[in-house]
Amino acid sequence: MGHAPHTQAMVHFYGVTKCAVTCLTESIRYELQGQKNQIRTTSISPGLVKTELILHCFENTSINAPDLCTQMKVGETIIRPVEHAM
């Protein structure tokens, strides 16, 4: 949902900010690779999570927002690296 243009009101801001964060993270990754240091970056984009924003964005549509959302809560997600992202 965050890496493409949207026609729904309010959703366009979400897409723009998610795309900007992804681009910034990738740019920093390339800069750090050029410095030959041990610092790594990565960006994690979860699927739709049931939040007030998502529910509000789809409230006046025929789309049932909870059906689009994953069943996990953001606070339950723990990410541990298993290898370096390149």
Tens of pLDDT, residue by residue over 55-83, are 877 787 787 877 777 665 556 666 666 66
The encoded tokens of residue 42 equal 């990565």
Is-above-0.85 flag for pTM? no
Residues of the chain above pLDDT 70, percent: 66
Residue 8 or 2, more confident: 8
Tokens of 55: 């529910």
| CA-to-CA separations, 81 to 18, 22, 43, 48, in angstroms, rounded | 22, 18, 12, 22
pLDDT at residue 61, as a whole number: 79
How many Å apart are CA 46 and CA 11, to the nearest integer? 16
pLDDT of residue 28: 93
> How confident is the model at residue 59, as a pLDDT?
80
